A and B are shown apart, each in its own frame.
Chain A
Amino acid sequence: MSSKIPMRRKKTTFLTNLRNQKYLLLMLMPGVIWYLLFKYLPLLGLSLGFTDYGFRAKVSFVGLDNFKRLLTSTIFWNAFRNTLIISLANIIFYFPTPLIVALLINELKSVKTKRFIQFLIYIPYFFSWVVVGSIFVNLLSPSTGLVNSVITKFGGKPIYFMASVKHFRPVLITSYIWRQMGYGAVIYVASLTTVQPELYEAATIDGAGHWGRLWHVTLPAIRSTIVTMLLLNLSHVLLIFEQVLVMYNAAVYGVADVLQTYVFREGVLSGDLGYSIAVGMFTSVISLTLVLSTNKFSSRFLEEPIL
């Protein structure tokens, strides 16, 4: 008996809560339905990766056939290799850039100049990939582009950057940095303003020079921002898609085709849905593993899990 009473009380409070919060819950509804439809229902759709869904009216379970197929597909391995190369280049060349630029902006004395630079370099982040891609096409055009006119002025031959197997990946990375760098730099600058000035004073008294202060005060103080940015970067580095979709062309498929564009062509354009879901799942799982292991690493060594 005694155990039943609290249970009943709990139930009534739950019901009264429900009644009291009816407006709040109603407001929540459209959003919750949206999440279920477009974020959680697709999760169930992953199971289609184990079927031959796409070509026939009747869907049948094929087990791991799609995965066996992708492991023997040369186009898949090419896309996989390209994704890894582009991602690695991205981490090496893109990741440190916003931090370095932010540290340099932070050294400026004039607040107005600081603001102006941030204002300026943050603009491209709001341009679509189509616009950014177009800006680069314009800049790199063999006939009217600025870069090639400089090259020819110095006696070189115009380079067809967008169609060149050798130059396409550097163009991808450069345009990625151009669009995304300001976003990272603005975040770092904001986090640099939270470093306590007393720490610098104390370090100076202890005899730390400029590099010493940078190494022992500034970087440790913003390390959680750095790790967060790294995680954010890792979480979509393998999922690179729209940029490549916009900028690549038949001449550079060999070096530019990444996993997501491969999925897009196989799935949306060829209609091979089951197989393309399997490829996508492969990508998502690797990407998730990368993020979770970095998070684990960060919680062990920096004592700061981000997720």
Chain B
Amino acid sequence: MEAFPVPLKIIMEAVKHFINAIASPKILFNIVFLFYLIVFPPFKFFQRIHDALGIDRLWTKRGGIFIFSLMFLAFAFGLTDANFRLIVLKPDNVPIVALLFLVVFFLWFAMTQAKENDEAIAKGDKPKEYADSREKVLVFPDLVYIEFLCLIFVAVLLAVWAIGLPAPLEQPANPTVSPNPSKAPWYFLGLQEMLVYFDPWIAGVVLPTAILLGLMCIPYIDKNRKGLGYYTYQDRKMAINTFMFFWLVLWMFLIFIGTFLRGPNWSFFGPFEYWDHNKLEVLNNINLSQYVFMIWLKQGMPSNILLREAPGFLVLAVYFGLLPAIFAKTIFKDLYQRIGGIRYSIFVVFLLMALALPIKMYLRWLFNIKYIIAIPEFFFNI
């Protein structure tokens, strides 16, 4: 770091410390969640903030330049730090860095076209794909040519990548020496991150199954017939706002945390922090049943398992049994009438399962709750 004069160095260190501090999951999740709520506002309240801030301006050429300058600047600044380079430039992490840039780029690309189309539709015109779609072109050579160019571009990209970056090969497999941290392949790190808040049977089996079933259900739940075959936001606001919560917050962001911010013992580390194996994290989490019986009622734990975990079962029953009905009468009243009971039930159950993750996060951060229902006798912990 000799290249920089001393005052600049001090400022840079201060900035790094600040970023390390706000990168803690407790803070960063809130920031990202707030960002999501403002950029893709699911509620009227956030819509007003969205309008007041003029978020729509992001989906223009200037907005794009702004987003990408910010991302590249942040990345370039990070690269001046040795600890940051160590993690980000690990050969297997290169695709994730690429993925983050690509997802942001294509998000901007789709939303910019959506904005153009929405403005045209608002004026009573057709989306720009409409005029194009009236004209027919021959697949040979028009499409085959474009495919061929794309193919050559990717082939060259792969060849350059392969020559420039050797595939990682670590020490030979040794079942007696486990590396710390042991990480799953990067596309499963979102699931591994969920292990912090849920037991493996939920984080590794139930939720992934729910994610896939939920994805498969999208076309059957979304009854909105508008917005087929062109980029649009206004014509299918609810679908896009909901999808972005899953895609950006629960999918991309969890992978980001799991890859870059989790070190030895799956402890949290800031992007400019050294991965110290001896970093301690206080684990003083307690179960809901202990809260109820020992702290509130000031008595011993009941010996009957069902009685002991009754508070948890009650919470779960209210969550999945009562909340959908309450939502149907309140915030999702329109939706319920539009898509009907069966579609609504499926949608709400998947939504509640997804929301269970942030809820569990907040319960952990605010009340140190480990399990809502804890029956370790049958490995049944929620």
Say whether A associates with B: no
Interface residues of A (CB under 8 A from B): none
